[in-house]
Chains A and B, each alone.
Chain A
Amino acid sequence: MVSDDVLRTHLQELRRGTVVVASLLALRRPDYGYALLQRLAAHGFPVDANTLYPLLRRLEEQGLLTSEWNTEESRPRKFYRTSADGETVLGRLLDDLAAVQTSVTRLIQGVEQ
């Protein structure tokens, strides 16, 4: 019987890179930290707040996201949006994700034959 710890570690490893993909994808529509967190969770990407907020800043520093302060609502919020560079990177990441999926499928079929 595999312990829960082992399983959790492997799942975490598998999920780690997908948070960036999901964020770049979701931020094609501009959003602020907490709303993005909710949106990702609703679409099956549960992310810890203390992971997502620093990640957004890092992606912004890398030029993959642009940001803008919105002061119209009840409290000022920083809205992020996927930049042109971010879109390029996202394209590559999605291709790779698809390639992984294809390889996995092929491997499954290969084993079954």
Chain B
Amino acid sequence: MISLTDRYLAATLRTVPAPRRAEIADELRASIADMIEGRTAAGQDTTAAEREVLTELGHPDRLAARYADRPLQLIGPTYYLVWWSLLRRLLTIIPALVGVAVGVLKATVEAQPHEAIGAGIATAFEVGVQIVFWVTVSFAVLERTRTPLDLPEWSVDQLPDAPVERDVTLTDTCASIAFLLLTLAFLPWQHYRSWVSDADGDNLPILDPALWTSWLPVLAAVLVASIGLEIVKHRTGRWTWPLVGVNVVLNLAFALPVGYLLLTDRLLNPALVERFAWLREDGNMDMSTNVAVVVVATISIWDITESVVKARRHNR
């Protein structure tokens, strides 16, 4: 039967560099035997002594790492800060850039605008994962080869400006952008894959398809500009009066066309109204329109008021 000591030695020596393996094996075996002997001499049972000694020596991989003088961390203090700042810099720019590029290509060259946003997000995510993986692997290799980086020493000139007081949290910004992206995605989605179908079972757009050559591109542009506003606002850290001004303009640029289209019965697809008898019944269409106008107006007024209140609170 193979003894516990043999198994322990095998487990330890597995990861010790080959040229030193035999000698470390002989020495460690002798040391373990000495330790066991020390305990049996004190009257302990051999089996129990062996268990205790091996437990005291601890995890074989840890002991092997000490023999080989190998780090037990993926990226140690020497490289950690460089790794982290490089990763942050790459992740803030590249995935978004590639994602937007892929989305635009999909929408224009491949003429599939309804897949553009999904493709862009998927590509951005993939690129992000790849960046994290390869940067981390490179630094883990540097850690193990102990390559000196020869980076310039840190100096006080690198200190960032004092942070501005933050009114705008990252969570808020992300939530707003996610909502805007969903709204943006809704435009092509409702055209190609709404949940309504006509009498032949074909897809029935919810919004009037005629609007694609007039108002829908404008609304989409306003949504994209709103995303830009969210990003600028987050970078500034708070509502400033110029930002409030832009916010008012964007809100009006969205709410007024939507309200106008609703009130002139041009927003919904006429074929959709045709398909739902309820909408054609007396007064129902007018009521739905009024409710929708009030909702759009409330959201816009709420958003504008909130920005004004926050800007005033900060500038007081």
B175 to chain A, nearest CB (A): 40
Asked whether A16 is an interface residue with its Cβ less than 8 Å from the other chain, the reply is: no
Interface string of A75-87 (1 = CB under 8 A from B): 1111000000000
Asked whether A12 is an interface residue with its Cβ less than 8 Å from the other chain, the reply is: no
Given contacts A34-B38, A38-B38, A76-B26, contact A50 B66 (CB under 8 A): yes
Q: With contacts defined as CB atoms under 8 Å apart, how many contacts are there between chain A and chain B in the complex?
A: 50
Asked if A50 and B56 make an inter-chain contact with CB atoms under 8 angstroms apart, the answer reads yes
Asked whether B272 is an interface residue with its Cβ less than 8 Å from the other chain, the reply is: no
Given contacts A49-B56, A54-B66, A57-B67, contact A32 B34 (CB under 8 A): yes
Interface string of B56-78 (1 = CB under 8 A from A): 11100011001101000000000
A72 to chain B, nearest CB (A): 13
Residue from B30, B56, B63 in contact with A77 in the complex, judged by beta carbons closer than 8 Å:
B30
Asked whether B24 is an interface residue with its Cβ less than 8 Å from the other chain, the reply is: yes
Given contacts A38-B38, A58-B69, A75-B33, contact A33 B62 (CB under 8 A): no
With a cutoff of 8 Å between Cβ atoms, the chain B residues found around residue A53 in the complex are: 27-28, 31, 63, 67
Asked if A78 and B27 make an inter-chain contact with CB atoms under 8 angstroms apart, the answer reads yes
Q: Which of B12-35 contact A (CB under 8 A)?
A: 20, 23-24, 26-28, 30-31, 33-35
B23 to chain A, nearest CB (A): 8
Which chain B residue lies CB-closest to A38?
B38
Which chain A residue lies CB-closest to B63?
A50
B111 to chain A, nearest CB (A): 64
Asked whether A113 is an interface residue with its Cβ less than 8 Å from the other chain, the reply is: no
Given contacts A50-B58, A53-B27, contact A34 B35 (CB under 8 A): yes
With a cutoff of 8 Å between Cβ atoms, the chain B residues found around residue A35 in the complex are: 34
Q: Which of A69-113 contact B (CB under 8 A)?
A: 75-78
A77 to B62, CA, bound (A): 23
Asked if B38 and A75 make an inter-chain contact with CB atoms under 8 angstroms apart, the answer reads no
B194 to chain A, nearest CB (A): 62
Asked if B38 and A50 make an inter-chain contact with CB atoms under 8 angstroms apart, the answer reads no
Which chain A residue lies CB-closest to B58?
A50
Asked if B31 and A51 make an inter-chain contact with CB atoms under 8 angstroms apart, the answer reads no
With a cutoff of 8 Å between Cβ atoms, the chain A residues found around residue B66 in the complex are: 50-51, 54
Q: Closest 6 A-B residue pairs measured CB to CB?
A: A34-B34, A54-B66, A33-B31, A54-B67, A78-B27, A50-B57
Question: Can you list 15 A-B contacts with CB-CB less than 8 angstroms, sorted by A residue number?
Answer: A32-B34, A33-B34, A34-B34, A35-B34, A38-B38, A48-B56, A49-B31, A49-B57, A50-B57, A50-B62, A53-B28, A53-B31, A54-B63, A78-B23, A78-B26
